[in-house]
Amino acid sequence: PQKLKALIDAWFEEAERNLVLPLDDRTATQLLAVERPSEETPRDRYTYFPDTAPVPEGVAVSVRGRSYKILADVEITDPDASGVLFSMGTRFGGHSLFVKQKKLHYVYNFLGINPEQHFVSSVELKPGKYVLGMEFIREGAGPNHENVGRMKLYANDKVVAEGAMRTQLGKFGLGGSGLTVGYSNPDTVSQEYVSPARFDGGTIQFVEVAVDKAQYLDRETELKRALRD
């Protein structure tokens, strides 16, 4: 026991000398959910406009660990309108709302793992004014703590596609290509289109993203910690 105590004391002395303390016992899930300091105050509603410079992920809306909605105010003037309405991320992870072959599409690229989570509207888009969008309703956590839930694709107030979907806990990229409206980053989120995939055949007024304020935390770990204390 005395030798063990001496070793423990020696370890803590070395740890303090090398700036290891305080120890961090957070799980990988908790660390991935931590937001870096930002000059942008977090809120639950964001509005973006077309053809601006990419918005860096560090100051853009975060959908990680949350339910969220993406709504694009669009007017289609050409029956063959196509292109990206909203995009964020790269081929290594991200999500994109776009028009292709007269239909609305939404892709969530989970960590670059194929196949892409791809949802396509059941109806064609004709010329006219629309609110095109999607909604992800988080229902729980998967076996690896990823977020799982239901996705609904909308053309105005009509659900045109829906299905199960999972979203990642971590950021879409360390460097990140940012958030864009009306076009794609050079490294596209989806294999369904080629950059720049500019929206052509209509006008995007703006895109609004709404998120739940509450972010998923590892409740099981928190409960164990509370019981231990």
pLDDT per residue as tens digits for the range 85-99: 999 999 999 999 999
Residue 37 banded pLDDT, cuts 50, 70, 90: low
Closest CA to 107 of 115, 118, 92: 118
Output the average pLDDT for the chain.
Answer: 87
Per-residue model confidence as pLDDT tens digits over 107-154: 999 999 999 999 999 999 999 999 999 999 999 888 887 889 999 999
Q: Where are the domains of the chain?
A: 41-214
What pLDDT is attached to residue 222? Answer: 45
Look at residue 40 and tell me whether its pLDDT is greater than 70: no
CATH code for 41-214?
2.60.120.200
d(CA 134, CA 107): 10
- Residue pair 151/106 in contact (Cβ under 8 Å)? The answer is yes
CA R_g for the chain: 22
Task: Write the single-letter amino acid at 41.
Answer: T
